[in-house]
């Protein structure tokens, strides 16, 4: 057998135990060769394994060797199924090269099936269907790389003995194209129920023999030999079976109407019921789309009548129900359905947040389960993406504040009630001869040229504002505070922000994160909280290399203490002058 040529060294590994994780798979597959990556596919919400994974090797030769040596090997009690990772879903869905094998002996497993059919061409996938206990259901599938190989396999093996049983081998037919509905001319079996206990085998056969030649007849019996009231008949031709159904279904026999219909396998019946249920569900959801409201935070005393009464002013209510547990106690939520979408919209606007009893209720349009699931998945993906970006930033040496990770969450200072917006001193712009501190005006603080505004500090609209266009000055070291250097022209390339962020934007984000933290520290030290703006401006002008750990509480407290010492010394100097 020639191994198919693939450009990618990526393998699909299926039929895995759900407890298997990436580390365990890595230990197994690294024995073949260097592994580039492994990913176990999981449910987006529960994060439980879906039973398959992708193993990516650095070298194509290693992937080919893993496919040859590891396919159908047991991993944690289950034989894994390995195939080349097929990125193009059209090949999998087309059915080209796919064959179906049934009437297999239960002793034939996937490896035996693979070895049996491998002589006809390159196999992409080989699978035997199993039940919940892992036992063969007696049928399976083989997917060849080419349709020619599949045709040759059907020609050579159909009707041949496999482990003593005559196997059927034919082209795979998608379920949607298979015969099995009432319009198909192929079925000949019928099912009869609601029969009187007096109907025996002879009478059962006599009742239906007038429609044509019956090849088999079975009336189901209980342990005592009495009729269970149902049975099966098989006619020689489809038309005969259909005529029996048309005439006998609903006919009264011994005073009771009987049911006669096409006999179906359990799987067919389940699929039909499932399709019917899904159809009814879609119709129901379509009917109530935009008119059904979800109401929660209800008091226990609120019943259906009370709920209807509270919403009655918004429009015509078709139903109102409070959901209850098995003991009849309210679950605290319910549903109200209106006649029109406009009435439902009006109810959401008027009733959301309204007090019913001692609780404000929450009202919104009811969502389908799929929509809620999609929303949860989106929220989870957003959270995971933020964590991943932060980890990437930390791995590149930019530890500390999450603001260094592009796309990570940024936390903004909340406005303080009763205060106006102020500006941080020390931002890019003209420097002050007093070591980076602004001249003091009325109230102790003056709006800074080139600064940006935050809660706390001087009044809005400072005079002489310059949007950072003046050239920067050489770095200055404040006497008594050698750790703070003011030089916006110098950056540490290792601590530089992402290319799309300017130095000013990065500092603004850092300032907005630091300000509430510094304010809280000053409050705990019984210091004037108004100093938070000035200290924030001093800290964000530090060398970027010193800022990487600034979010650490010990480092931040140390810098705040140093800044307070500098401000105290500066205040003493001003008084002497």
Q: Give the integer Cα–Cα distance in Å for 533 and 508.
A: 12
Helix axes 503-524, 532-539, angle to 10 degrees: 140
- Judge whether residue 204 has pLDDT over 80: yes
- Helix/strand number for the chain, H first, E second: 15, 28
Is pLDDT above 80 for 505?
A: no
As given in the structure block, the two tokens for residue 358 are 């001692």
**More confident: 573 or 308:** 308
Q: Give yes or no for a contact between 235 and 187, defined as CB atoms under 8 angstroms apart.
A: no
522: its two tokens? 């000053």
The arithmetic mean of pLDDT across residues 378-396, rounded, is 68
Q: Could you tell me the domains of the chain?
A: 10-177 (3.30.70.330), 189-263 (3.30.70.330), 288-366 (3.30.70.330), 402-576 (no CATH)
pLDDT digits (tens, 9 = 90+) for 166-188: 888 988 877 656 554 444 447 88
* 30-44, 137-151, 454-468, 506-520, range with the lowest pLDDT: 454-468
The answer to whether 403 and 75 have CB atoms below 8 angstroms apart is: no
Alpha-carbon distance values, 195 to 109, 190, 219, 259, 274 (Å): 43, 14, 10, 8, 27
* pLDDT on residue 299: 92
- Only one residue has tokens 């009987």, namely 258
Q: What is the percentage of the chain residues whose pLDDT exceeds 90?
A: 22
Angle among Cα 53, 59, 64 to the nearest 5 degrees reads 65
Percent share of the chain, pLDDT over 70: 71
Q: What's the average model confidence in pLDDT over 300-318?
A: 92
- Those residues whose C-beta lies under 8 Å from the C-beta of residue 467, and which sit 6 or more positions away, are 450
**285 vs 179, which has greater pLDDT?**
285
Per-residue pLDDT reduced to its tens digit, 481-502: 344 443 444 444 344 444 445 6
Phi, psi of 392 (to 5 degrees): -65, -40
CA angle 342, 346, 348 (to 5 degrees): 120
Report whether pLDDT(305) > 90: yes
Between CA 510 and CA 454 the distance in angstroms is 12
Closest C-alpha to 531, from 511, 515, 508, 550: 515
Half-sphere exposure of 275 (CA within 13 A, CB side): 8
> How much is the average pLDDT of 78-98?
75
Select the more confidently predicted residue: 124 or 383: 124
User: pLDDT at position 128, please?
Assistant: 87
Give me the mean pLDDT over the 528-538 stretch: 84
User: Residues 518-522: what's their mean pLDDT?
Assistant: 85
Six-digit token pair at 351?
A: 């009733």
Residue pair 204/254 in contact (Cβ under 8 Å)? The answer is no
Is it the case that residue 352 has pLDDT exceeding 50? yes
The tokens describing 327, both together, are: 């003991």
Average confidence (pLDDT) over 507-531: 82
Q: Is 74 helix (H, G, I), strand (E, B) or coil?
A: strand
To the nearest 10°, the Cα dihedral for 503, 505, 508, 510? -70
Helix (H, G, I), strand (E, B) or coil at 128: strand
401, 399, 337: which is closest to 363 by C-alpha? 337
Q: What is the mean pLDDT of the chain?
A: 75
Residue 379: pLDDT band by 50, 70, 90 thresholds? confident
Q: Are 103 and 116 in contact (CB under 8 A)?
A: no
Q: Given this model, what pLDDT does residue 307 score?
A: 94
Question: In whole angstroms, what is the distance from residue 424 CA to residue 572 CA?
Answer: 22
Check whether 559 has a pLDDT greater than 90. no
The structure's pTM equals 0.36
Alpha-carbon distance 551 to 331, whole Å?
43
**What is d(CA 205, CA 82) in angstroms, rounded to the nearest whole number?**
52
pLDDT beyond 50 at 447: no
Q: Where do we find the tokens 């930033």?
A: 393
Least confident window among 80-94, 202-216, 248-262, 321-335: 80-94
- The pLDDT value recorded for residue 461 is 39
What pLDDT, on the 0 to 100 scale, is given for residue 417?
36
**H-state helical runs in 416-531:** 503-524
Asked if 453 and 465 touch (Cβ cutoff 8 Å), the reply is: no
* DSSP per position, 515-571: HHHHHHHHHHTT--GGGHHHHHHHHTTS-HHHHTTTTSHHHHHHHHHHHHHHHHHHH
Are 387 and 402 contacting, i.e. CB atoms less than 8 angstroms apart? Answer: no
Residue identified by tokens 């005559």 is 166
Q: How far apart are CA 502 and CA 499, in angstroms?
A: 7
Instruction: Give the best-scoring range by mean pLDDT among 137-151, 402-416, 452-466.
Output: 137-151
Contact yes or no for 12/84 (Cβ under 8 A): yes
Q: Return d(Cα 516, Cα 456) in angstroms, integer.
A: 10
Contact between residue 66 and residue 11 where contact means Cβ atoms under 8 Å apart: yes
Q: With 60 as the cut, is the pLDDT of residue 317 above it?
A: yes
Element (H, E) at 253: strand 252-253
- Confidence tier at 432 by pLDDT (50, 70, 90): very low
């Amino acid at each position: 057998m020639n191994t198919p040529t693939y450009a990618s060294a990526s393998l699909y590994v299926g039929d895995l135990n759900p407890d298997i994780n990436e580390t365990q798979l890595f230990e197994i597959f690294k024995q073949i060769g260097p592994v580039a990556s492994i990913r176990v596919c999981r449910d987006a919400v529960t994060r439980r394994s879906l039973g398959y994974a992708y193993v990516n090797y650095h070298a194509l030769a290693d992937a080919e060797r893993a496919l040859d040596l590891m396919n159908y090997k047991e991993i944690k009690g289950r034989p894994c199924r390995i195939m080349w990772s097929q990125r193009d879903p059209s090949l999998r869905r087309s059915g080209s090269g796919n064959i179906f094998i049934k009437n297999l002996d239960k002793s034939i497993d996937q490896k035996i099936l693979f070895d049996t059919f491998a002589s006809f061409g390159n196999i992409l996938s080989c699978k035997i269907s199993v039940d919940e206990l892992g036992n063969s259901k007696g049928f399976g599938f083989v997917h060849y790389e080419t349709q020619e190989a599949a045709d040759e396999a059907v020609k050579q093996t159909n009707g041949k003995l496999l482990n003593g049983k005559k196997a059927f081998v034919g082209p795979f037919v998608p379920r949607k194209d298979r015969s099995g509905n009432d319009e198909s001319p192929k079925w000949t079996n019928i099912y009869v129920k609601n029969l009187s206990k007096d109907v025996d085998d002879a009478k059962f056969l006599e009742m239906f023999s007038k429609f044509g030649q019956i090849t088999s007849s079975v009336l189901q019996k209980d342990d005592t030999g009495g009729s269970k009231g149902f049975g099966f008949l098989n006619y020689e031709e489809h038309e005969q079976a259909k005529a029996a159904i048309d005439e006998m279904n609903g006919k009264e026999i011994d005073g009771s109407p009987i049911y006669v219909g096409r006999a179906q396998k359990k799987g067919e019946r389940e699929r039909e019921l499932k399709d019917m249920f899904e159809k009814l569900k879609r119709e129901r959801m379509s009917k109530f789309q935009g008119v059904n409201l979800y109401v929660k935070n209800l008091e226990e005393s609120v019943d259906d009548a009370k709920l209807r009464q509270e919403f009655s002013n918004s429009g015509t209510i078709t139903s109102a129900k409070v959901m209850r547990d098995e003991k009849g106690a309210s679950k605290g939520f319910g549903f109200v359905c209106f006649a029109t979408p406009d009435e439902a919209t009006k109810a959401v606007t008027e009733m959301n947040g309204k007090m019913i009893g001692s609780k404000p209720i929450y009202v919104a349009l009811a969502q389908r389960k799929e929509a809620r699931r999609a929303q949860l998945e989106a929220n989870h993906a957003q959270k995971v993406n933020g964590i991943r970006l932060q980890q990437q930033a930390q791995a590149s040496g930019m530890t500390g504040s999450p603001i260094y990770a592009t796309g990570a969450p940024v936390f903004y200072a909340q406005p303080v009630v009763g205060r106006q917006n102020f500006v941080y001193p020390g931002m890019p712009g003209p420097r002050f001869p007093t070591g980076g501190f602004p001249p003091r005006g009325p109230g102790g603080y003056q709006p800074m040229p080139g600064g940006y505004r935050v809660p706390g500090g001087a009044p809005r609209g400072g005079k002489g504002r310059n949007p950072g266009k003046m050239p920067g000055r050489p770095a200055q070291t404040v006497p008594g505070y050698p750790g703070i250097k003011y030089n916006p022209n110098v950056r540490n390339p290792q601590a530089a922000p992402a290319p799309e962020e300017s130095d000013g934007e990065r500092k603004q984000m850092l300032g907005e994160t630091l300000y509430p933290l510094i304010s809280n520290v000053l409050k705990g030290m019984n210091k004037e909280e108004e100093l938070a703006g000035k200290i924030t401006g001093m800290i964000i002008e530090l060398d970027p290399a010193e800022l990487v750990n600034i979010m650490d509480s010990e480092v931040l407290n140390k810098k705040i203490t140093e800044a307070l010492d500098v401000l105290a010394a500066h205040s003493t100097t001003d008084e002497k002058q």
